[in-house]
Amino acid sequence: MFKKTLFALTLLFLLSGLNTVNAQPSVGSDAAILIDGSTGQILFEKNSRETHYPASITKILTALLLKEAAKFI
């Protein structure tokens, strides 16, 4: 009896997740992009083609440092 109940609960648990495979994530920001690092495939994007400006000086400095570091790669 216990094995049948455990099997039924496991099956219910596994089947309950099948409808969420293609669900879009909930993102609170204005823009987002999720890229598979190994394939480069875009997995999710939200307003990724629109121009968005950094919200602080720290982000601007980080962007400049990354731009400079990319010259040496």
> How buried is 46 (Cβ within 10 angstroms: 0-12 exposed, 13-18 middle, 19+ buried)?
middle
Asked, for residue 72, whether it belongs to a domain, the answer is yes
Strands (E), 2-71: 32-35, 42-46
Residue 58 within any structural domain of the chain: yes
Total domain count for the chain?
1
Residue 47 belongs to domain spanning = 31-73
Is position 43 within any domain? yes
Quick one: pLDDT at residue 71? 79
Residue 62 lies in a domain: yes
Average pLDDT for 59-71: 87
List pLDDT tens digits, range 3-34. Answer: 778 777 786 777 666 555 566 778 888 888 88
State the pTM of this model. Answer: 0.43
DSSP symbol at 34:
E
What is the per-residue pLDDT for 18? 56
Give 26-42 pLDDT, tens digit per residue. Answer: 888 888 888 888 899 99
Q: Decide if 67 is inside a domain.
A: yes
